[in-house]
């Protein structure tokens, strides 16, 4: 043992001193002899790998680490990760996958980013079941929501829309008011030609966004605060939600469902404003109602139901008789949508 310790110190000294190549080769010859005589000493394999790296022979370094795996015990995870990195650097993709599989089998607790990377490589090579096993670890981690969203993106990239949708639905269990997740669920359902599910997801997203708008704008500071939180969301996502909702309504029954949804929301908002005595003198001060009215106008003209638009516009003009901005807004929207 003492002789081994001295030998290890000598090899460390050669590495630290960046000794000449022929000196390191002599050390490697001695190391290989010692490994053959005592093949259960992990440190010898590690030293040999370091020497091979130093003299520019990474393939031999990887071979040494691979030989060490059966005796690595608690160090097996670390060595396997090194082998994955070395194989990736040498663009040996099959070895990356082989070591990745091994890492998944021997490690119960891998960081989400490692599981995501391994799962992606497996998916790229068509090993879907094994990729799913790696991805499932990401999804099961409550602190890896962002990585779980990436899992859905990976599935979507490779056309596995059902699996991507399942990931998004699992995320929605803990994040039921996440508009972006609902919109992704709608898009994935569209890609599967499941227009009923797509319409349901877009409806939920749109309803959430509109419900977060204030019924009546308060003081300027309050209005600014609400606008920062909610109008930005409307600006970012409402166009996608509305387009998706309309695109998913390809049958008369589905169009009637969309009209009924918007009609119900408009009527509920009118009743709420009446009950709260919250009607303002200008429609802009009732942003939720104004947004719903614009939605009804757009849907009504696209679905060739102008009577629905006439009804809400008549109600608005009655409620806001002196609002010239509203009159201009209605006229502009009617020109735009009636032309389309």
Which mean pLDDT values do the consecutive 10-residue runs of the chain (340 residues) have? 59 69 81 87 88 88 93 90 88 87 85 92 90 94 92 97 97 94 97 96 96 81 50 82 94 96 97 95 96 95 94 96 95 81
* 155: nearest Cα among 175, 179, 128: 128
* CB-CB contact of 195 with 189 (8 Å): yes
Q: Are 127 and 115 in contact (CB under 8 A)?
A: no
Burial of 153 (0-12, 13-18, 19+ CB in 10 A): middle
Q: What is the model's pLDDT at position 2?
A: 45
Residue 230 is predicted with a pLDDT of: 57
Helix (H, G, I), strand (E, B) or coil at 192: coil
Whole-number Å distance between alpha carbons of 116 and 61:
27
Compute the distance between CA of residue 224 and CA of residue 208 in angstroms, rounded to an integer: 20
Cβ 277 vs Cβ 317: under 8 Å: no
At residue 46, the pLDDT reads 87
Minimal CA–CA distance to 297: which of 306, 286, 285, 288?
A: 306
- Taking the mean position of all CA atoms in its chain, how far away is CA 25? 50
Residues 255-291: b if buried by 16+ CB within 10 A, e if exposed: bebbbebbbebbeebbeebeeeebbbeebebbbbbbb
Is the entire prediction scored with pTM above 0.75?
Answer: yes
Q: What is the pLDDT of residue 16?
A: 67
Residue 182, classed as helix, strand or coil, is helix
Q: What is the pLDDT of residue 79?
A: 93
Q: What is the pLDDT of residue 194?
A: 96
Q: Residue 120 CA to chain centroid, in angstroms?
A: 14
Per-residue confidence (pLDDT) for residue 35, from 0 to 100: 87
194: helix, strand or coil: coil
CA distance 249 to 281: 36
Neighbouring C-alpha atoms within 13 Å toward the C-beta of 329: 18
Which pLDDT value is given to residue 225?
Answer: 52
């Amino acid at each position: 043992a003492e002789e081994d310790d001295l030998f290890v110190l000598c090899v460390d000294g050669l590495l630290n001193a960046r000794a000449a190549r022929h000196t390191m080769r002599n050390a490697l010859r001695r190391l290989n002899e010692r490994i053959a005589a005592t093949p259960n000493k992990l440190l010898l394999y590690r030293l040999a790998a370091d020497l091979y790296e130093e003299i520019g022979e990474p393939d031999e370094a990887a071979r040494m680490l691979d030989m060490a795996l059966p005796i690595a015990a608690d160090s097996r995870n670390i060595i396997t990760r090194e082998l994955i990195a070395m194989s990736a650097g040498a663009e040996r993709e099959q070895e990356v996958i082989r070591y990745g599989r091994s890492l998944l089998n021997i490690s119960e607790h891998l960081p989400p980013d490692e599981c995501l990377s391994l799962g992606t490589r497996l998916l790229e090579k068509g090993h879907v079941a094994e990729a799913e096993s790696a991805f499932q670890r990401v999804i099961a981690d409550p602190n890896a929501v962002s990585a779980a969203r990436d899992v859905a993106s990976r599935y979507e990239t490779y056309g596995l829309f059902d699996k991507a949708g399942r990931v998004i639905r699992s995320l929605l269990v803990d994040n039921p008011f996440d508009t972006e997740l609902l919109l992704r669920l709608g898009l994935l359902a569209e890609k599967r030609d499941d227009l009923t599910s797509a319409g349901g997801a877009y409806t939920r997203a749109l309803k959430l966004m509109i419900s977060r708008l204030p019924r009546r704008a308060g003081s300027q500071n309050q209005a600014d605060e609400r606008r920062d939180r909610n109008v930005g969301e409307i600006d970012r996502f409402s166009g996608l939600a509305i387009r998706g909702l309309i695109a998913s309504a390809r049958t008369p029954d589905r169009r009637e469902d969309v009209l009924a949804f918007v009609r119900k929301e408009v009527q509920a908002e009118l009743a709420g404003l009446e009950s709260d005595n919250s009607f303002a003198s200008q429609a802009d001060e009732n942003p939720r109602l104004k947004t719903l009215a614009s939605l009804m106008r757009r849907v009504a003209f696209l679905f060739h139901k102008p009577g629905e638009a006439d009804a809400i516009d008549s109600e608005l003009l009655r409620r806001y008789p002196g609002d010239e901005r509203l009159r201009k807004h209605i006229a502009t929207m009617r020109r735009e949508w009636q032309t389309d």
